Amino acid sequence: MITAADYRPPRWLRNPHLQSVLGSSALRRRRGLRALLGSGAVTVEHIVDGGDDVRLQGFLSRIPDRAPRGLVLLLHGWEGSADSSYMRLTAAQLLRRGFDVFRLNFRDHGDTHHLNEDLFHSNRLDEVVHAALDVSRRFAGDVPMRVAGYSLGGNFALRLALRAPDAGLALAHVAAVCPLLDPATTMDRIESGLPLYDWYFARKWRRSLQRKRSLFPQRHDFDDTVLALDIRALTDWLVQRHTAFGTLEAYFDGYAIAGDRLAALTVPAHILMAEDDPVIPFDTFRDWALPAHATLEIAPWGGHCGFIENAACDGYAERWVAERLSGGGA
């Protein structure tokens, strides 16, 4: 059984920024594609029901003629997608351990902007819960589903697990890697930290908004002055124009899971965090109140969802998720 203490990268990989960049590098994307193609699984696209006429896209991977141990739902990070390297690499690890895997795209992620007219935002939990119910009903059989997520996807996975009992969703386990706990402090970190992260997220978000505007010009008639706003001002514009929260503070609080927000969690949970994460402030984890059946594992290194082990860009986090969801606890 591997634990966070087993993650000991070579010295040259103990830089959090290098870890974060390598985690989403072209090499990793190629490795993810090859790993999934080499798994022997057949992958089929599906449109799932998000409720209230919301349609979300996902990809179900199964090994033909094999009775699976169960189904795992994977959730990506903000401006990632079902095809992100960590999603495909995790899927390959889970398939190897006997699971079927469903990789869900959030609204407006991947090539899905055309499916729904309104914009994505991080408080759209209801549609993810509804989609998880649809995925479970259609593909999980009688075995409770498992769920895992990275970054914002880890936040969604933990909120989904918190909501699961009231929603009638049977979940056996949840795993999260570098989950976003406190959006307000994370915004502060992005603004005050290495400019690379502000540039990276803002560039991808602006491209997403441009795509949405081109598809639904009658609904989204904002001009380029909006797209030129910095990331905080652009988020505030989103909140004011496309949510009912009223203020940025209320919006951030709506999906925060810091402090005792997960105290009522009943689904067994494992969380992996890097102490040197340059995007998600580690301080928010120090006073995190978790129930007894939730375990937080802390590695000194790893950056933001990196956890790269060597020059070949093998990933520790993907193996960790697969082992935890297979029943290997710390």
Residue appearing with tokens 């997403």: 208
Q: Which amino acid is at 272?
A: L
pLDDT tens digits, residue range 60-110? Answer: 999 999 999 999 999 999 999 999 999 999 999 999 999 999 999 999 999
How sure is the predictor about 3, in pLDDT bands with cuts at 50, 70 and 90? Answer: confident
pLDDT tens digits, residue range 62-71? Answer: 999 999 999 9
Question: Is the model's pLDDT at 330 over the cut of 60?
Answer: no
Predicted local confidence at residue 257, as pLDDT:
98
Query: Is residue 175 in some structural domain?
Result: yes
Query: Is residue 187 in some structural domain?
Result: no
Contact 33, 53 (CB under 8 A): no
Predicted local confidence at residue 4, as pLDDT:
85
Contact 120, 255 (CB under 8 A): no
CATH number for the domain harbouring residue 297: 3.40.50.1820
Predicted local confidence at residue 1, as pLDDT:
63
Query: Is residue 14 in some structural domain?
Result: yes
Query: Is residue 217 in some structural domain?
Result: no
| Beta pairing class for 145-150 and 269-274 | unpaired
pLDDT tens digits, residue range 254-300? Answer: 999 999 999 999 999 999 999 999 999 999 999 999 999 999 999 99
Q: Helix, strand or coil for residue 4?
A: helix
The rounded percent of the chain whose pLDDT value lies above 70 is 98
Other Cβ atoms within 10 Å of 42 Cβ, number: 10
Query: Is residue 240 in some structural domain?
Result: no
Q: What distance in Å separates the CA atoms of residue 307 and residue 285, rounded to the nearest whole number?
A: 18
Query: Is residue 236 in some structural domain?
Result: no
State how many domains the chain has: 1
pTM above 0.75, yes or no: yes
Query: Is residue 237 in some structural domain?
Result: no
The rounded percent of the chain whose pLDDT value lies above 90 is 97
Query: Is residue 110 in some structural domain?
Result: yes
Contact 50, 56 (CB under 8 A): yes
Report the chain's mean pLDDT, rounded to a whole number. Answer: 97
Other Cβ atoms within 10 Å of 43 Cβ, number: 17
Q: Which domain holds residue 89?
A: 4-182+259-325
